[in-house]
Amino acid sequence: MSGVSVVILGSANVDVIIELDRIPGPGETVLTDASDRGRGGKGNNQAIAAARAGAPTVFLGAVGADESGDFLLEAQREAGIDVTHVRRIEDAPSGTAYVMVDSRAENAIVVVAGANGQLLSLTDAEREVLRGADALLMQLEVPMATVLEAAAQTKRAGGYVVLNAAPYAELPDELIANLDLLMVNEHEAALAAGRSGTPEELAATIGERVPDVLITLGAAGSLLQRRGSDPVRINAPKVDAVDTTGAGDTFAGAYVAATVAGLPEQGRLEYAAAAAALAVQRPGAVASIPRADEIQDAVRRYFA
């Protein structure tokens, strides 16, 4: 397949968004009359973020042969994503995420995998797509065996392989060997490093196994550690957050789009940080993801 820039392998979910004053504790019932339905799933979010950020994007994933699947694919098509190879699963519903958002814009999420769990191996057509990718971005909301296979296929063909290790799981040596960049938040970084420490210390430890490490630090910014180079760290723009749901996915998709566009390290981080800063000022996951012209304007405002 020719003309491919970014391939996203991952999950697609319908989000049921529940707004609360506070997220309930164990055994507690909290009442609300504020709820909504949207599109989400880390793979879906990152694919739309990459496409809106300007990268030609192909999505590999699975949705149910149901109205929810139609709902998810409609947004991907609107973003300009190639959905030719998205599987429609007859005997499993589309994935669903229940997202609780409190008055401080913090969230808690429960995901029912549904069709995402049926992505057990790659087809020949999917392998062909991966062989044509400039970059592959994956997460861990689909079966690990497929993540392993996709990383190996892309690496053999010379593509740049990125794993956003969320939700965190132990990373097999076989997967580590095929990664160019591991992207994690600070909590995931501590798990990957097997220790606590500063972001710089965690990145150095992880960097013994992975060529490049990118740690997102929320409101504190992000840190990129490339093997053999000094770390690059930027501060996040100061904004008033409305909803942090999907902000990390927006950062990931925008970062990979900036990478295939050839931006330098600092520029990639600034582009991704500006995209995430715009996203947290809007409600929802997919609905909050900005477009390339908005991101470029925000880079000039936040980092000039």
Q: Is 156 inside any structural domain?
A: yes
Q: Is 280 inside any structural domain?
A: yes
Q: What is the CATH number of the domain that holds 207?
A: 3.40.1190.20
pLDDT digits (tens, 9 = 90+) for 259-274: 999 999 999 999 999 9
Looking only at the bridges linking them, the beta strands covering 13-19 and 35-40 are antiparallel
Local confidence band at 245 (pLDDT 50, 70, 90 cut-offs): confident
Residue type, 150: A
13 annotated as a binding-site residue: yes
221 annotated as a binding-site residue: yes
Catalytic residue among 21, 240, 249, 293: 249
- Report, as an integer, the average pLDDT of 206-216: 97
Looking at residue 106, what is its pLDDT? 85
Looking at residue 101, what is its pLDDT? 87
Tokens of 171: 């990373």
Looking at residue 270, what is its pLDDT? 98
In the predicted structure, residue 3 carries a pLDDT above the cut 70 = no
In the predicted structure, residue 127 carries a pLDDT above the cut 70 = yes
Residue 232 belongs to what domain range? 6-12+41-94+116-303
249 is catalytic: yes
Q: Is 32 inside any structural domain?
A: no
Total count of domains within the chain: 1
The CA radius of gyration of the chain, in Å to the nearest whole number, is 18
Q: What is the pTM of this model?
A: 0.92
10 annotated as a binding-site residue: no
219 annotated as a binding-site residue: yes
Which 8-state DSSP code applies to residue 284?
S
Looking at residue 2, what is its pLDDT? 46
Contact (Cβ atoms closer than 8 angstroms) between residue 206 and residue 183:
no
Q: Is 274 inside any structural domain?
A: yes
Q: Is 31 inside any structural domain?
A: no
232 annotated as a binding-site residue: no
Q: Is 165 inside any structural domain?
A: yes
Contact (Cβ atoms closer than 8 angstroms) between residue 175 and residue 143:
no
- Report, as an integer, the average pLDDT of 1-25: 88
Q: Is 20 inside any structural domain?
A: no
Contact (Cβ atoms closer than 8 angstroms) between residue 142 and residue 11:
yes
H helix runs in 80-214, sequence order: 124-131, 144-156, 173-176, 186-193, 199-206
Q: Is 240 inside any structural domain?
A: yes
The span from the CA of 75 to the CA of 13, in Å, is: 12
C-alpha of 74 from chain center: 19
